[in-house]
Structure 1
């Protein structure tokens, strides 16, 4: 302990001494701003470097302190790292318990003018997934396994720090980085905002691709060598089964092989996912011993030399991950025989479950976050079709089949529900355009979470809430979607609530303007309504 303290003390003296002897060579954020020189930024994990490069463009030089292929959990910064950071404009680290050395760096450079940025600030973190960790079975080896986990560098605490694997949380990371850059170089605010908006659109598109692809696959379990994928569990319904202590470089021990065999047999899985740097030797042992194929999944914390040579980036690596997941989750498990009757029963059960959800009966755990891309497109209000009589057959149909109201009573009920003067809405990425009385108003919206509501009848609904990025005349501060879905899926129609008071909107249950795609005719909309 004394040795470590002395090392930190001497390092701090070294930094201060260098600053005092050569302050003309130190690039502070103030000097960079005044001379209009590019900013100098250092980061830890790769996504922070990539997002900063994209947002800053030509206005910053960005480097990671982590060597290619290193382990970001247990990396020890060098004296040279400390010196570089002390002379930089900003040091951006992930936080949330990922980099234990970040605190050491912060203490060493706190007297310098470098801006220290914890990129996870303000971002909702999930609890770290230990539920499926098969590396700690049996109390006799609990202490041994605990020490081994610490040596492997996968001890994160209670919260999962791998937030960059979630495209929606990555938008929040990028927003924190953008605000830092604006603070350091305010004259480039327009450039940083423009670059951020483009990055945000690409992340939203990536989120949509993950949801669309994974939602269509029959399986949901993956065996991994590191429990880094909790945000995929939350967002896409994937279940990660982590076999702790496995190394991508070293051949598995008999004990570790036995863990893999038992786990693979228990779940009938044919693949084991190792993170980047898995060696052919490890893959061959896994294939030979248990008949499972070892595939690579990339946690993106650092690039490998191969990644750099191939000019990979955040999006190409995430696309590879999606392709790997598609391969793994497309293969049915072998835990039970598969035949046409099973397929029919599965489909029937799935249909029944979907019908229950549509009717408002579901568990809280089934509800997932959704991107605004689920409602992307050009939408028309159905209110004009109610007024011109096009929907009369819908009300007659309801009266005939439900019998609790007359057709006229149904029409009066829906007239209150559908009433609106916003005849058309266009959603493009994060941008919403409202058409009202021949005029249009546009604004950017960001996700603000969801709320589960319980109705008087006992069924429930979910409001997906978006908040305008900036207050602007002509657009509501909040919009809330309700479309009978509780997880990511492309909407066929929706009810929309809007206004400037988030909580008051949640209490609104009598007026729910309803929108269908503009390419549909009134007759097609009526037919669709009667089908439900």
Structure 2
């Protein structure tokens, strides 16, 4: 009887080899380890996504849907970042906490990369006035420079080159891969820049007004436009009643038909100016961050900027 049972077991293995092999076949080998990169803002996240491709696991520190200027990392953000290979921040004016944050992780393995190396900063073009809530007109986390460097597509190309160099240094085996992707993406930025220059070359208006914080100075400067915002660089600041009245008057005098609002912030001020002046409101996306829905749908920096061009051409009455 014992021999019959053994024979039956062997026959079962022959007939159902998959069941027997399941116990003896080792699991498939894991793929190559990806470089773990944490970025602060969405433009950096999207640049790394384009350059790093399938060699990189990129994570956005700023939660989708959260306004960027008021964000400061919490203990849970430190836990999520501790195992990263590379931490990329925009610049010291945008994230003055970045250096101390990475030093505080105490891992000794994370490389800190400032994406702005080589970029020429410009001052925030706002009046030196006291705004509501006690914010100075040019104040942003203690600095007077405009941190929104990615909205100049020449600066964006420098940022891409810096990011590629950072990836290469951490993962030299894939150097050529990162360089090729960075070259391709810089080509896309050059194409985008050309589209803006052509699209904004023949417009009825040469100025635009924005009911939010001072975010679009680099964009205006690159394409020879005049730009004014309701508030200072600090997104928490509120315009004074006198400033609001001056902006309403400006819209009326210049004959602007549109006032711009921005992403992830209340359009209340823009709508107020538009209502008092007879204008309409259009969205202009600063791309600091994106909504949860846009994040889930894989929206890109290039797509957001092309949407901006459509809005600008409408707002400036371009041919």
What is the TM-score of this pair, normalised by structure 1? 0.49
Q: Write the mapping of 1:252-263 to structure 2, written as runs, cut at 5 A.
A: 257-263=244-250
Give the C-alpha shift of residue 63 in structure 1. 1.0
Q: Establish whether residue 277 from structure 1 lines up as the match of residue 273 from structure 2.
A: no
Q: Write the mapping of 1:436-515 to structure 2, written as runs, cut at 5 A.
A: none
Give the C-alpha shift of residue 252 in structure 1. 8.7
Give the C-alpha shift of residue 309 in structure 1. 4.8
* Contact 1:154 1:226 (C-alpha < 8 Å) held by counterparts: no
Q: Write the mapping of 1:319-468 to structure 2, written as runs, cut at 5 A.
A: 319-330=306-317
Which residue of the other structure, out of 159, 162, 171, is the alignment partner of 1:173? 159
Q: Distance in 1 between matches of 2:265 and 2:121?
A: 28
Q: Write the mapping of 1:294-305 to structure 2, written as runs, cut at 5 A.
A: 294-305=281-292
* CA displacement, residues 228-261 of structure 1 (integer Å, 9 cap, x when unaligned): 2222232100111121169999x99866642431
Q: Distance in 2 between matches of 1:302 and 1:51?
A: 13
Q: What does residue 411 of structure 1 align with?
A: none
| Matched residue SS, 1:122 | coil
Q: Distance in 2 between matches of 1:234 and 1:254?
A: 27
| Matched residue SS, 1:148 | coil
Q: What does residue 8 of structure 2 align with?
A: none
Q: What does residue 171 of structure 2 align with?
A: 185
* Contact 2:230 2:247 (C-alpha < 8 Å) held by counterparts: yes
Mark the CA change 1:102 to 1:164 in structure 2 (over 3 Å): closer, same or farther: same
* Contact 2:139 2:234 (C-alpha < 8 Å) held by counterparts: no
Q: Establish whether residue 72 from structure 1 lines up as the match of residue 68 from structure 2.
A: yes
| Matched residue SS, 2:302 | helix
Greater relative CO (CA pairs within 8 A, separation 6+): 2
Q: What does residue 235 of structure 1 align with?
A: 222
Q: Write the mapping of 1:128-143 to structure 2, written as runs, cut at 5 A.
A: 128-130=124-126, 133=127, 142-143=129-130
* CA displacement, residues 504-525 of structure 1 (integer Å, 9 cap, x when unaligned): xxxxxxxxxxxxxxxxxxxxxx
Mark the CA change 1:47 to 1:211 in structure 2 (over 3 Å): closer, same or farther: same
Give the C-alpha shift of residue 149 in structure 1. 5.2
| Matched residue SS, 1:67 | coil
Q: What does residue 17 of structure 1 align with?
A: none
Q: What does residue 26 of structure 2 align with?
A: none
* Contact 1:47 1:314 (C-alpha < 8 Å) held by counterparts: yes
* Contact 2:262 2:286 (C-alpha < 8 Å) held by counterparts: yes
Q: Which has the larger radius of gyration?
A: 1
Q: What does residue 193 of structure 2 align with?
A: 207
* CA displacement, residues 94-147 of structure 1 (integer Å, 9 cap, x when unaligned): 1141112213313313552101111101222222222xx4xx6xxxxx445472
Q: What does residue 39 of structure 1 align with?
A: 35
Which has more strand, going by share of residues?
1
Mark the CA change 1:281 to 1:248 in structure 2 (over 3 Å): closer, same or farther: farther
| Matched residue SS, 1:209 | helix
| Matched residue SS, 2:134 | helix
Uncovered stretches (5+) of structure 2, i.e. residues with no partner? 1-30
Mark the CA change 1:53 to 1:317 in structure 2 (over 3 Å): closer, same or farther: same
Give the C-alpha shift of residue 268 in structure 1. 2.9
* CA displacement, residues 268-312 of structure 1 (integer Å, 9 cap, x when unaligned): 322211111355766654443321111111111111224335542
* Contact 2:261 2:267 (C-alpha < 8 Å) held by counterparts: no
Mark the CA change 1:198 to 1:254 in structure 2 (over 3 Å): closer, same or farther: same
Mark the CA change 1:76 to 1:278 in structure 2 (over 3 Å): closer, same or farther: closer
Which residue of the other structure, out of 101, 106, 122, is the alignment partner of 1:105? 101
* Contact 2:132 2:240 (C-alpha < 8 Å) held by counterparts: no
Aligned pair count reads 288
Q: Establish whether residue 162 from structure 1 lines up as the match of residue 158 from structure 2.
A: no
Q: What does residue 456 of structure 1 align with?
A: none
Q: What does residue 48 of structure 2 align with?
A: 52
* CA displacement, residues 464-498 of structure 1 (integer Å, 9 cap, x when unaligned): xxxxxxxxxxxxxxxxxxxxxxxxxxxxxxxxxxx
What RMSD over aligned residues (CA atoms) do the two structures have, in Å?
Answer: 3.0
